Amino acid sequence: MATVGVLALQGDVREHANAIQAAGGMWTPVRHPEDLDGIDALILPGGESTTIGRLAGIYGLIEPLRAAIADGLPTLGTCAGMIFLAAGMMQGEQVQLGVLDVIVERNAFGRQNESFEANLEVAGFDRPFRAVFIRAPWVVKVGGGVEVVATVDDHPVMVRQGNILASSFHPELTSDVRIHTMVLQAAESRDPRDGER
């Protein structure tokens, strides 16, 4: 059974943990660099992206996270997690891992009171995914190696680049665990020799 580490500094940690368990996996919190040892996949949750980045720096996680993801660790970033993964953003400055070749716009869909749900056509899914958007970013620019997996009004809201999957929305806030199942499948299919250090 795959074990998914959830970055547990701030944000929707418990919701992701519940979704992983519902999808048939195990989870463990990631708060320190050594917590990355032995996990099969990683989730960077939604929350407040500036806070997550600042705390990751305080806990010495920035370079270990970059290294683990570069080594092929299957990784899902949702909402703030997408921003944290990205190479840059349209406005402001904050700590970003820079491992996902996209430029994002924070709060692109509006403020908290403009949150909404939408049925998304997701590449590879046989039926729509009901997605929850809360102060969500969208992707403004994608690099050549990035696949757009889902859009809203022509704005990319879910992308894939190699071992990295990122969404503007919060799949952990629904009972549909197909995206978490994708993470577990990626973890289980990963060659155990990948990422040996």
Q: Which residues of 169-188 are buried (b: 16+ CB within 10 A; e: fewer)?
A: bbbbbbebbebbbbbbebbe
Check if the beta carbon of residue 118 is closer than 8 Å to that of residue 131.
yes
* DSSP designation for 146: -
Q: What is the pLDDT of residue 193?
A: 47
Q: What is the pLDDT of residue 32?
A: 97
Is there a domain that residue 194 lies in? no
- Domain range for 28: 3-189
Q: Which residues of the chain have pLDDT under 50?
A: 193, 195-197
- Tokens 């009901």, residue? 130
**Sheet with 147-152: strands ordered across:** 26-30, 3-7, 41-44, 75-78, 164-167, 155-161, 147-152
Residue 104 phi, psi dihedral angles, 5° rounding: -115, 160
Q: What is the pLDDT of residue 197?
A: 37
Report the helix count and the strand count for the chain, using DSSP H and E: 5, 12
What is the pTM assigned to this prediction? 0.93
Residues serving a catalytic function are: 79, 170, 172
Q: Read off the tokens for 162.
A: 């190699």
Is there a domain that residue 70 lies in? yes
Q: What is the pLDDT of residue 190?
A: 78
Question: Measured in Å, how far apart are the chain's first and last C-alpha atoms?
Answer: 22
Is there a domain that residue 196 lies in? no
Q: Is 52 helix (H, G, I), strand (E, B) or coil?
A: helix
Structurally, how many domains does the chain consist of? 1
CATH (domain of 143): 3.40.50.880
Is there a domain that residue 182 lies in? yes
Is there a domain that residue 118 lies in? yes
